Amino acid sequence: MSSSPTNPSRMQTRRDWLSKSACGFGSLALAAVHNRALDASDNRRSLPLIVPKAKRVIFLFMQGGPSHVDTFDYKPLLAEQHGKTNDFADDRVEAKTGARKSPHRIMQSPWQFQQYGETGRYVSSLFSETARHIDSLCMVHSMHTEGVAHGPATLFLHCGSTNTVRPSMGSWIHYGLGTENENLPGFVSLCPSAGNGGPRNYGNAFLPALYQGTPIGTADGANLKLSNMAHPSHDVDTQRRSLDLTQRLNALQLANHPGERDLESVIQSYELAWRMQQSAPNMLDLAQETQATLDLYGVGQKDTDRFGRQCLMARRLCESGVRYVQVNYGDDSANPAWDQHSDLPQHEKHAKRVDRPIAGLLQDLRQRGLLDDTIVWWGAEFGRTPYAQENGTGRDHNPSGFTMWLTGGGIQSGISFGNTDPFGHQAIENKVHMHDLHATILHLLGIDHQRLTFRYAGRDFRLTDVHGRVVHEIIQS
């Protein structure tokens, strides 16, 4: 150890050396952290090469579970057998009582189905605007999942697990691919709900905190902006000098505690926050859009304004390089949005709010050339039963068979894959588990779901756990 220049008789300590070299060493530390944020990790570098067909994902989450047999899975038998009682393997009854079969009254759909497009596929009047795009949609009618209650099923949808704390899909994608824009988060959740998984639906769990989703807005559609982006009393140069000083001090702490992921994440988040201050406000300013575009999404209209703004913002985020955008339609209630146990006609209210914005998003992405490398994914945590719950006027949860649709980003257009039984109750043909859908979306992004892992607590974790197969049948050749 060398002697101190101010006191030759005293040996210079490590702390002395670090404090005197703060500027230079701090810059090196910050550069190293920044490079780690941009470079692929050891796990990602070992991934085999899959030629990606997509760069990003927009997930349209319909919280609560729309009824597939009232929207996209036409079952004429429900009208033929309406009012009759039949034995069904009800998931909730079996979970509560163990009974494999129980009697239920079949209920027809209150809405009319008709054929659309050149493919002639059926869609109900609830989604007549989305139906105009039916020839570009891939309908997966054979989805099934884990969890019969909203909380576990919603967590499984987003994280691949019903109860343990796991990273959300957007975090895995951000971790696996990095970011396309250093000035914005790689993963954004618009208007997320505080319940049924809450922040875990966009959380990073044990992945480095850099990969957590950034929530914008609340479940009621309010605060759909980044507030407090400008400092009230400092100009840009003063803020930059202040941040540089803070970051040099942080780098010194990092040097004293190497490998501290939380501290690294703090340093990275400060830098990202600074960059967002410079670019995000303009990017999120919908006033820059033409009136024709606002009208396309239904912005400014009573029923569609809220979700229209979310869909338009999702397009702007993707256009700016955000990898994964959750567009949440839901609320914080115990029976969220589409959860109609006793009042199925409420589906009409919710469909009216989302149908036009979804159709507008699809049209806008296509005309801008973004749909070619953007996956749009629509769905919920589960579907609903084809029979009345407790002989009433609503439908119960149904994780055994339901519909999701996808389009863009390498997905085959105008096809229907899989099927439920004639009542629409259980998936019976070309069944697709939620793990399979996760694996397929990762594959389209160029990621092998079996190799995208993170070692935590002595084992390698992945989004699809030890399951999942890529559904090549719905991918463009």
- 172 with 452: CB under 8 angstroms? yes
The gap between the terminal CA atoms of the chain, to the nearest Å, is 65
Which residues lie closer than 8 Å to 200 by C-beta, 6 or more apart? 155, 158, 159, 165, 168
400 close to 89: Cβ distance less than 8 angstroms: yes
Place of tokens 């060398």: 2
Rounded average pLDDT over 80-107: 93
Q: What is the pLDDT of residue 27?
A: 41
As a whole number of angstroms, the distance between CA 460 and CA 468 comes to 16
Residue by residue, what is the 3-state secondary structure of 200-262?
HHHCCCCCCHHHCCEEECCCCCCCCCCCCCCCCCCCHHHHHHHHHHHHHHHHHHHHHCCCCHH
Instruction: State the Rg of the chain over Cα.
Output: 25
What is the percent of the chain with per-residue pLDDT over 90, rounded to a whole number?
Answer: 68
Where does the pLDDT of residue 101 fall: very low under 50, low under 70, confident under 90, or very high at 90 and above? very high
184 or 252, which is more confident? 184
Higher pLDDT, 24 or 152: 152
Q: Per-residue pLDDT averaged across 343-353, rounded?
A: 97
Distance of CA 276 to the CA centre of its chain: 21
Predicted confidence at residue 285, as pLDDT, reads 82
Question: pLDDT grade, residue 179 (50/70/90)?
Answer: confident
Give the model's pLDDT for residue 12.
52
Q: How is residue 339 written in tokens?
A: 């959860």
* Cβ atoms of 174 and 186 closer than 8 Å: yes
- Is the pLDDT reported for residue 162 higher than 90? yes
Q: How many C-alpha atoms does 133 have within 13 Å on its Cβ side?
A: 26
Residue 246: per-residue pLDDT: 67
Q: Tell me if 373 sits within 8 A of 367, measured CB to CB.
A: no
The per-residue pLDDT for range 411-431, each reduced to its tens digit, is 999 999 999 999 999 999 999
* pLDDT, mean over the chain: 86
* Dihedral of alpha carbons 462, 465, 468, 474, sign: negative
Strand-strand pairing, 324-329 and 187-190 = parallel
The average pLDDT across 122-137 equals 98
CA distance readout (Å), 11 to 20, 22, 255, 408: 14, 19, 21, 66
The model scores a pTM over 0.75? yes
Res 225: pLDDT: 63
Rounded to an integer, what distance in angstroms lies between the CA atom of residue 307 and that of residue 64?
16
**Weakest mean pLDDT among 281-290, 347-356, 438-447:** 281-290
Report residue 448's pLDDT band, with 50, 70 and 90 as the boundaries.
very high
DSSP letters, 326-350, are EEEE--SSSS-TT--SS-TTHHHHH
Q: What are phi and psi of 445, to 5 degrees?
A: -85, 0
**Closest by CA position to 443, among listed 52, 172, 143:** 52
Residues comprising the chain, all counted:
477
pLDDT tens sequence across 212-242: 999 999 888 777 765 444 555 566 676 667 6
Q: Does position 291 have pLDDT exceeding 60, yes or no? A: yes
d(CA 358, CA 411): 18
